[in-house]
Amino acid sequence: MAVTIRDVAALAGVSPSTVSRTCKNHSSISRETKEKVRRAMAQLGYEPNVQTASDEGQAPQLISVILPPSSRYVYENSFYLETIRGISQFCNGRGYISTVVTGQDDDEILDAIRTLVKDGNTGGFIVLYSRQDDSVIDYLYNEGILYVLVGKARQFVNQTIYIDNDNLLAGQEAAEYLYQLGHRRIAYIGSEDGMYFSAERRAGYQLVLAEHGIVLSGDYCLEMDGFSVDGNEALLMLLGREDRPTAVVASDDILAVALERVCVQQGISVPDDLSIVSFNNSLFARITSPQLTSIDVNSYQLGIEAASQLINHVENPNLLATKIIVPHMLIERDSCRRISGV
């Protein structure tokens, strides 16, 4: 079995990120620690896969931002754009360079990551999504490469630095807001791509229904992407039933805007016939008609916190993994109404 960076770290009694920085001859690692790590590398026969950089005249380190694998959706979602804006501005202020990594699938992304790592000047990675059994996270963790996750960790939880919202609580607040407006038939539309944020928001929504003793059929919860709503048979069946929902929690503004479009096609008025609460408080929420009531997850602040934590760990490699929760806020607009008599 090939020797890994974690084997070297265990023998030297340091963190994998310290081994990685030693391979780059990073100035943040003391000479004593570097010698200890190099002895462990020699003893195990470990061959680093990065080029050694000198401490003098070293170019600014690169912070690489990993987007979810996608051929289209990611580039049209303002959540990612706002998060990247926060990352970029913080990196600029600290003298780091940021770049974006993505691809149509995990293999393309992994190829790009390997190329960046071989360059030897990569400080670390920020992963802008969280999902179960992610091969990209597996690679970063097993290679001892420093990374920060935007979203709650599903793998290697205790060793992962992550920045997130309390999506369970946000899902509860969205559903409770609609309940307090008198709605009882509340549906949920979430992302179908296995993203953890959507699953947590759905769980929060379901908790509120259970707390109030509301039992709805399983087809009141749908999963889809923002570009398959128009012809989605399950959605059309939901909106066409006699006991159709009077309100919907949508896990993303893009889904909510697409839902509004379907409602127009079906002769359903928002908010008179259907109230909608969405997430992200993006430009989509503000330019649609009616404007969307949306939960602002502070995407820009998520980016700032992610960059801050990554750079802190680059410059102080023995810090423990940090978990940060960024607060959210419900922004009331015109897509919801109180049911008469409630």
Residues 172 and 291 in one domain: yes
**138 in a structural domain:** no
Residue 46 lies in a domain: yes
Sign for the pseudo-dihedral over CA of 46, 49, 52, 53: negative
Select from 58, 74, 90 the last residue of a domain. 58
What is the structure's pLDDT at 228?
60
In whole angstroms, what is the distance from residue 61 CA to residue 53 CA?
Answer: 11
Q: Are 66 and 124 in contact (CB under 8 A)?
A: no
Asked if the model's pLDDT at residue 311 lies above 60, the reply is yes
**Tokens 């959706």 map to which residue?**
73
- Reported as a single tens digit per residue, the pLDDT across 280-302 is 999 999 999 899 999 999 999 99
CATH number at residue 235: 3.40.50.2300
Domain range for residue 186? Answer: 167-297
Does a structural domain hold residue 236?
yes
| 157 burial level (CB within 10 Å; 0-12, 13-18, 19+) | exposed
Q: Does residue 18 lie in a domain region?
A: yes
- Give 3-state DSSP helix, strand, coil % of the chain, rounded to 5: 45, 15, 40
Residue type, 131: R
| Domain-embedded: residue 302 | no
Q: Specify whether the CB–CB gap between 126 and 101 falls below 8 A.
A: no
Q: For residue 300, give the H/E element and its range.
A: helix 299-315
What pLDDT score does 235 carry?
87
Average pLDDT, the chain: 89
**Count of structural domains, the chain:** 2
Q: Is residue 141 part of a domain?
A: no
Q: Cβ of 126: how many Cβ atoms within 10 Å? A: 28
The string of pLDDT tens digits covering residues 88-130 is 999 999 999 999 999 999 999 999 999 998 877 889 999 999 9
Q: Which of 58, 78, 94 is the last residue of a domain?
A: 58
**Segment 212-260, tens digit of pLDDT:** 999 988 889 998 865 566 667 888 889 999 999 999 999 999 899 989 9
Task: Write the CATH number for 37.
Answer: 1.10.260.40
Rounded-to-integer distance, Cα 167 and Cα 252, Å:
12
Within 10 angstroms of residue 136's Cβ, the number of other Cβ atoms is: 22
Confidence of residue 50 (pLDDT cuts 50, 70, 90): low
Tokens of 232: 């989605």
Indicate whether 139 belongs to any domain. no
Is 206 part of any domain? yes
